[in-house]
Structure 1
Amino acid sequence: MPRVWRLLPTPTGTPFTFWYAVLLGVTSYVADTADPSWVDEVLQASSTDVTHLAQAPALVLVASALWVAGGLASPFVAVFLLVLTALERRIGGVRTVVVFLVGHVVATLATEVPVGFAVLFDRLPDSSLHRLDYGISFGVAASVGALAGLLRPWARWPVLVVFGGLLLQDLVNMTDPISNWGHLIALAVGVGMWHWVRRWDAEGMEKVAPGRA
C-alpha cells in the first residue's frame, strides 16, 4: 500500500508537485464557480497569444500555467500528478520546475511566433493574434518526455509510443492544430533533456548512497 501512495504527490516528498496541484485545484474551482464573464476575462488575460507575449511575456507565461484547460476532468491532470510526482522523486523539485518551464516556454514560443509571422505576411487573419491559449499541457508533455529518459527501455519506449501516438492522433483529427503541434514539440523538448535529467538523477543517487558505485 505505501508503494501505491508514492505514485501521488505529498507535501514533504514532492512539495513542488503537491502545492502546484493544490493551486491548480483552487483555480479550477474558481473557474467552475465564479461569474463566467469574469472567468472569461481572466483567462483571456492569461492567454499566451501573440499580443500578450509581445506585451508582457514573462507575466503571461506564468499566468497561463495557473489554469487547466478543460478543468480537472482533463486527462492532463492525471498525467500531471503521476508524471511530475515520479520526476520530482528522481531529480528533485527545482529541476522538475526547470523541465516543466522549459517545455512550457519553448513549445509556446515555437507555436505562437509562427502565428505572428503568418499574420504579418497575411497568411492568417488578425484575430489569430488573440487566440485563447493557456494551461499546463505543454509542461506536462515535456515532463513525460524527460521522465521517459529515466525509465528502463522496456517501459521507456511504450510510454513514448503511447503518449506520442495520442498526441499525433489529436493532430490528425485537427482538434486544435497549434496546440497539438505544441504538445509534440514539448514532448521532443523533454526527450532532448535526457542528458541533463539522467545526470541530475545520478547526482541524487550519489547523495543517497555516496559510497556506492
Structure 2
Amino acid sequence: MLLGTGLYARLADPGTVHDLLAASSTDVSHLSQRPLLSLLVSALWAVGGITSPYLVLFPLVLGALERRVGGARTAGVFLLGHVLATLLTELPVALSVAVGHLPDSSLRRLDYGVSYGLVACAAALAGLLSPRWRWALLGGTVVALVAGGLVDFDPLTQWGHTLALLIGVVCWPYVRRSAGGCPRRWGGDGAGRRFAHSERPSGNTRGPSVH
C-alpha cells in the first residue's frame, strides 16, 4: 500500500498529489468534518514518497511485532499511536485558535503519514526485548526522530512523535502479556522459548530451559 502511494506521489501530476495529500490531512478542519475518514486516509501515505525510509522500517518493525503478539494486537498498537498522537497534537491547536492565540490558518495544515503508528509500534516492540536491545531500539528511534526534525522541523510533528513513543511504552504490559509475559532475549541461548513449563524433569530427562 505504501509502495503504491509512494509511486503515485512520484509519478503523478504534482498538483493532483498535493490536493490528495491536503485532502488526507488530519488537521483540525478535516478532523472536525470527517474524523474517521481523515484518520484512516492519512495512514495511507509515507512522508517522502517512494524515497521514504518508512517504506523499509514499516514492514520490519510491524513484522517483528506481529510475530510476537499477532496481527490484530499489532494493528491495535499502530492505531492507538496514530489516533492518539494525532488528536493530542491537533486538539490543542483547535483550542488555541478558539481563544485567539493562533490564527485561523492553523486549522488547515498538511499532517499525514504512518510515522506516529510506526513509532508507537517500535516503542512497543522494545518492551519485548532484553534491556540491552530495548534501550538500543528506543535510543535509535529517538536519534532518527531528532535527525528528521533537524532536516524538516515541525513542532507539532515532533510533539506527535514524542507522544507516539510514550504511547508505545505504555503498551508494554499489554504486548508482554500477549507475547507470553517476559521480554525476549536476542542472541545466544536467549533466541526464544520453545518449551512450555508444563513438564518437570525426572531421572535423566532434560527439563525445559527457562530464559
TM-score by length of 2: 0.82
Letter in 1 for 2:155: P
Matches within 5 A, 1:87-102: 87-102=65-80
- In structure 1, distance between residues paired with 2:44 and 2:135: 30
Higher radius of gyration, 1 or 2: 2
Q: CA deviation at 1:170?
A: 5.0
Does 2:39 align with 1:61?
Answer: yes
Q: CA deviation at 1:166?
A: 3.5
Runs of 4+ in 1 over 6 A off after TM superposition: none
TM-score by length of 1: 0.82
Matches within 5 A, 1:25-64: 25-64=3-42
Matches within 5 A, 1:1-213: 23-168=1-146, 175-202=153-180, 211-212=196-197
Q: CA deviation at 1:171?
A: 5.3
Identity, % of aligned pairs?
50
- In structure 2, distance between residues paired with 1:170 and 1:44: 21
Count residues in correspondence.
187
Counterpart contact for 1:48–1:61, Cα < 8 Å: yes
Show structure 1 runs of 5+ residues with no match. Answer: 1-22
Letter in 1 for 2:76: V
Measured on the aligned residues, the alpha-carbon RMSD in Å equals 2.0
Q: CA deviation at 1:42?
A: 1.1
Counterpart contact for 2:2–2:55, Cα < 8 Å: no
Residues 154-184 of structure 1, C-alpha deviations (whole Å, 9 max, x = no match): 1001211221233345557871110011001
Counterpart contact for 1:168–1:184, Cα < 8 Å: no
Q: CA deviation at 1:48?
A: 0.1
Show structure 2 runs of 5+ residues with no match. Answer: 182-192, 199-211
